[in-house]
Structure 1
Amino acid sequence: MGVSNNVTSVLNFIAFLCSVPIIAAGIWLASKADNECTHYFRWPVVILGTLVLLVSLAGFVGAYWNKQGLLAFYLFCMAMLIGLLLIVLVFAYVVTREDGGYSVPGRDYREYSLGGYSAWLRDHVTDPENWVKIRACLAESDVCTRLAQNYVIPDQYFAARISPLQSGCCKPPTVCGYTYANPTLWLNPTNPTADPDCYLWSNDQAQLCYNCNSCKAGLLGNLRHEWRKANVILIVALVILIWVYLIACSAFRNAQIGDHK
């Protein structure tokens, strides 16, 4: 096996290692209630990471056993996957760039408004047909029941850093003036006309604020928060993959020149 093929084998092993955090980031995203309920966003990163893994293995085999056709196939496919990963990153950045969260006096958690998010993401989530499915999925999850297990007294709850999804779906908007009984039980609003969501709130544990605009905005807030975290891992992996790919192209070209001498 020539020097160029040795280099390409090592580079493909590095690319293989890069696929692991991509897959891990995808699995982490898929495990979250908001991504689980919005199937559109659930598996793309896992699928992309798996393809990088398989293509890297093909490149390693091609380099180790000097299969030039397999190496050429690897270079073509890896270029496509790098392009797809770049598209996913740009798309995720654009649709999660804006933040609909705002601070509320006397609360450490934030509340969320639909107007603060990109039109594409907002329209997809708030589409009535989509929201019926998302709402049913959220109601079956433990997003809100976990709050009752973790917080008891009001001061403890008001000082909590609950997730955007929990803030939007598990309680009424603060402006409504409801009195805290427990994290998912609120009574006697003093300002019930302040927001349309005030009328939509229900102490029925299967209803809560799942019909509220604040719940839809909270879902978008969760998606934004989680995808921006995952993007850090994906950006690092993309930079390494591009570096590996460029060196692999040079090594492949040198091997081709060497074979013709």
Structure 2
Amino acid sequence: MKCSNSLVGILNFVTFLLSIPILGGGIWLAHKATTDCEKYLEKPVIALGVFLLVVSLAGFIGACCRVNWLLWVYLVVMFILILILFCFTIFAFVVTNKGAGEAVSQRGYKEYKLGDYSNWLQKRVDSSKNWNRIRSCLVDGKVCQKLSQETNTVANDFFAKHLSPIESGCCKPPENCQFTYVSPTNWNTNGNRTTTNPDCNAWNNAPNTLCYDCTSCKAGFLQNLKRDWKRVAVINIVFLVFLIIVYSIGCCAFRNNRWDSNNGWKPYR
């Protein structure tokens, strides 16, 4: 069997093996998921597992068994996947080119404003349906639990902490609310509720409320998302190069299949 056919067969066999735990993980989530966040993941994970399973089988059978139409379908799907990944990578860099934390005087953490981020991202988190899901994930993920357990932390030590964007935006009130520090997730309002910043009115010391309904929390989430998307975009570039190489090898295998079909294929000895 020609080298290109063997390489495509091996690569797709490995992909087939990888698809099994992914599909199994999705099925496990479908039956065992207890939180809204976990339930939200089950369908994409199952879809990814099925997709990898079907495509890898098509590539493996098409290359190793010389089934031209299956290999053609495999190459078409690979080409579409390359285009999608390329477009997503460009899109990820474009929508994450805005937004950054603002340093606060005598504070170890930064604060984040929703208006600093791209309009597309703002619209996504401003949607009540989307934010309710995200909020549920943040609460279920107990992102503020670590801070809430630090009940003996004095104010100066807390103000010097390097908080993550979500911790800064969701677990404490904004600085301009001028609330009095009691503990990391417990603040005395002193009657300083103000209408100039709606986040001050949204703050509540209840563990499942805090500042999860604040625009600063949405901004902190977008800052995390921005960082993660940029990492994914860099990984996508590497993955795109790999896919293009595999696609080129697949094209060689398809050409071999056609040549063998036209000249009468016989097993190699």
TM-score bin (small chain): 0.7 to 0.9
Deviations 1:201-260 (A, max 9, x none): 222223211221111211212221222223332221121011210222133214423442
Unaligned runs of 5+ in 1: 28-34
Secondary structure of 1:211's aligned partner: coil
* Map 1:177-188 → 2, pairs under 5 A: 177-188=178-189
Aligned partner of 1:32 in structure 2 is none
The alignment partner of 1:181 has SS state of strand
* 199-208 or 189-198, larger mean C-alpha shift: 189-198
- Classify 1:85/1:43 alpha carbon distance in 2 versus 1 (closer, same or farther; 3 Å): farther
Gaps of 5+ in 2: 27-35, 264-269
Whole-angstrom distance in 2 between the partners of 1:187 and 1:172:
10
CA distance in 1, matches of 2:42, 2:111: 24
CA distance in 2, matches of 1:181, 1:46: 45
Which segment drifts farther, 87-96 or 233-242? Answer: 87-96
Q: Aligned-pair distance for 1:168?
A: 0.8
Is 1:170–2:200 an aligned residue pair?
no
Q: What is aligned with 1:218? A: 220
How far off its partner does 1:139 sit?
3.7
When normalised by structure 2's length, the TM-score is 0.75
Contact 1:48-1:85 at 8 Å conserved across structures: no
Separation of aligned partners in 2, 1:80 and 1:54: 15
Shift of 1:185: 0.7
The answer to whether the Cα contact below 8 Å between 2:174 and 2:216 also exists between their aligned partners in 1 is yes
AA at the equivalent of 1:5: N
Q: Percent of aligned pairs with the same residue?
A: 44
Report if the CA contact (8 A) 2:68-2:257 is conserved. no
Q: What's 1:84 paired with?
A: 84
TM score, norm. by length of structure 1? 0.77
Letter in 2 for 1:168: G
What residue in structure 1 maps to residue 241 of structure 2?
239
2:207 to 205, 210, 215: 205
Q: Which has the larger radius of gyration?
A: 2
CA distance in 2, matches of 1:239, 1:145: 41
Please tell me whether the aligned partners of residues 4 and 255 of structure 1 are also in contact (alpha carbons under 8 angstroms): no
User: Which runs of structure 2 are paired with 1:1-261 in the superposition (5 Å)?
Assistant: 1-12=1-12, 16=15, 36=37, 47-48=47-48, 51-52=51-52, 54-149=54-149, 152-153=152-153, 154-188=155-189, 193=194, 195-261=197-263
1:114: Cα distance to partner? 0.8
Number of matched residues?
248
2:42 and 2:108 map into 1 onto residues whose CA distance is 29
Which residue type is aligned with residue 164 of structure 2? S
SS at match of 1:106: coil
